[in-house]
Amino acid sequence: MADHTYDVLVIGSGPAGESAAIAAVKAGKKVAVVERRPLVGGNCAHKGTIPSKALRHAVKQIIRFNSSTLFRDLGDTRWLSYPRVLQSASKVIPKQVDLHTENLIRHRVTLHTGAASFLDSHTVSVSMEDGRRETISAEYIVLATGSRPYRPDDVDFTHPRVYDSDTILDMRHTPRHMIIYGAGVIGCEYASIFSGLGIHIDLINNRDRLLSFLDDEISDALSYHLRDNGVTVRHSEEYSRIEAGDHSVTLHLQSGKRLKADAILWCNGRSGNTDRLNLEAAGLEADGRGNLKVTQDYRTGVDNIFAVGDVVGWPSLASASYDQGRAVAAVITNQPSKPVTGVPTGIYTLPEISSIGKTETELTAAKVPYEVGRALFKNTARGQISGEDVGMLKLLFHAETLELLGVHCFGAQAAEIIHIGQAIMSQNGEGNTIQYFLDTTFNYPTMAEAYRLAALDGISRINRR
């Protein structure tokens, strides 16, 4: 007989797990969460979204200070070591842990601390740090175990000069030169962060352009600004081997190039945290990257077991994970639900990027007659006041109906600005056209005013035809 029995058991306390647990409680279910870490919040709070974005914010403040003529009157430019900046950024983590802990307590979600593994499709064993074990059974089980950096077997991650996106948050020195292998979202974000600290970066991209899922113009802008900040971007390269020594690390590429640096940061993909769950006992099997396949309602191949968040792969965003958690709770409790779609991208490079909807390439391939409206931040009053003269807002809309088809933003506050366009795109009928931006009064001066300027630019292109 199990030590504990619940209606719903959630494994993992990150964004997906927390939201699933709380939504299930609100629907009247008896719910528990198993978390292997001693503190809740998952990878998002401890190793991923929160610490990396806090680190980025600290670096942005340093850049602003060193580039501002106002502060230059106070003295010379300031250089801060990576450990010192990291120490400042890390102060947000305990605040996040307290917030998530209080949220679970307030909603009366029972928390079990330990590593969970399946005994059968309704039962898990939880191994605690002191060696004790407890058995938990539940009618429904939600896997929200998240992901971790992918580590190929031929790379020695125990070497003190070899890091991944988790261990980089424990680096206790400031390299003069760093190689970042992998130019996905995480690689580009860290390239921005470290170049902002004055570290020379070699960014190795396996593909022929950066973040190819973005609109080409936005991808090009990112590539330009990374290079402008001293990042050397190398496209279409694959590693052959990594040679790490006492004083340096050398990356051997299949093209024959050899790059030498003080450290290497491996950012080439992620793996779902499923290898310790004993999935076979529950009748489940993960793919080669540890991810689980699910249906539109997040059900796995076993009817009572669901999976949400990074462990199911794309889009692997904290924002989507929160919504997936609520959606799966709705499925379990027989409430109306729908799959999470229309998720905006949020890429926290310097400057940041956010987009939603179609790109120019996609619209061209679909033979949709579209037009473009742009607003450069340097032409907005708020941008000039705040010194945010880099970036733009780009609107893609149907040339005949004026329906808003895509919003792409590059620059300061892009991840905030995008939500205005997202709201308009979600409207029905004539409410989802750029006419809204022409008819609406925006606060002045604001960055949001860029929507009016971009819409005016787009309409002027239509009128010139």
Dihedral pair phi/psi, residue 239, rounded to 5°:
-80, 150
What pLDDT score was predicted for residue 68?
Answer: 72
The percentage of residues in the chain with a pLDDT greater than 90, rounded to a whole number, is 89
Mean pLDDT of 431-435: 95
Domain with CATH 3.50.50.60 in the chain: 4-50+89-148+271-332, 162-268
Reported as half-sphere exposure (CB side, CA atoms, 13 A), residue 365 has a value of: 5
What pLDDT score was predicted for residue 1?
Answer: 60
The pLDDT of residue 76 is above 90: no
What pLDDT score was predicted for residue 75?
Answer: 62
Tens of pLDDT, residue by residue over 249-290, are 999 999 999 999 999 999 999 999 999 999 999 999 999 999
CATH code for residues 351-463: 3.30.390.30
Tens of pLDDT, residue by residue over 163-210, are 999 999 999 999 999 999 999 999 999 999 999 999 999 999 999 999
pLDDT category of residue 73 using cuts at 50, 70 and 90: low
- Name the token pair of 379: 């032409």
How many other C-beta atoms are found inside a 10 Å radius of the C-beta of residue 254? 10
- Name the token pair of 229: 């900040």
Residues ≥6 apart with Cβ < 8 Å to 294: 300, 306, 307, 308, 312
Q: Which residue has the tokens 């948050």?
A: 169
- pTM, two decimals, is 0.93
Rounded Cα distance, 235 and 421, in Å: 32
Tens of pLDDT, residue by residue over 13-28, are 999 999 999 999 999 9
Q: Are 307 and 277 in contact (CB under 8 A)?
A: no
Q: Distance of alpha carbon 154 from its chain centroid, rounded? A: 27
pLDDT category of residue 74 using cuts at 50, 70 and 90: low
Residue 11's nearest CA partner among 35, 30, 45 is: 35
Angle CA 211–215–219, to nearest 5: 45
The 8-class DSSP code of residue 299 comes to B
The pLDDT of residue 71 is above 70: no
Residues ≥6 apart with Cβ < 8 Å to 75: none
Residues ≥6 apart with Cβ < 8 Å to 243: 249, 250, 251, 252
According to DSSP, the β-strands at 177-181 and 370-376 are unpaired
* Cα-based distances in Å from 422 to 25, 169, 326, 395, 427: 30, 33, 20, 11, 9
Q: Which residue has the higher pLDDT, 67 or 15?
A: 15
pLDDT category of residue 452 using cuts at 50, 70 and 90: very high
Domain with CATH 3.30.390.30 in the chain: 351-463
The pLDDT of residue 2 is above 80: no
Tens of pLDDT, residue by residue over 213-231, are 999 999 999 999 999 999 9
pLDDT category of residue 387 using cuts at 50, 70 and 90: confident
Mean pLDDT of 58-87: 79
Give the CATH fold of the 4-50+89-148+271-332 domain: FAD/NAD(P)-binding domain (3.50.50)
Tens of pLDDT, residue by residue over 323-369, are 999 999 999 999 998 889 889 999 999 999 999 999 999 999 999 99
The percentage of residues in the chain with a pLDDT greater than 70, rounded to a whole number, is 98
CA dihedral 182, 351, 457, 362 (to 10 degrees): 20
Amino acid occupying residue 359: T
Rounded Cα distance, 340 and 118, in Å: 27
Give the CATH fold of the 162-268 domain: FAD/NAD(P)-binding domain (3.50.50)
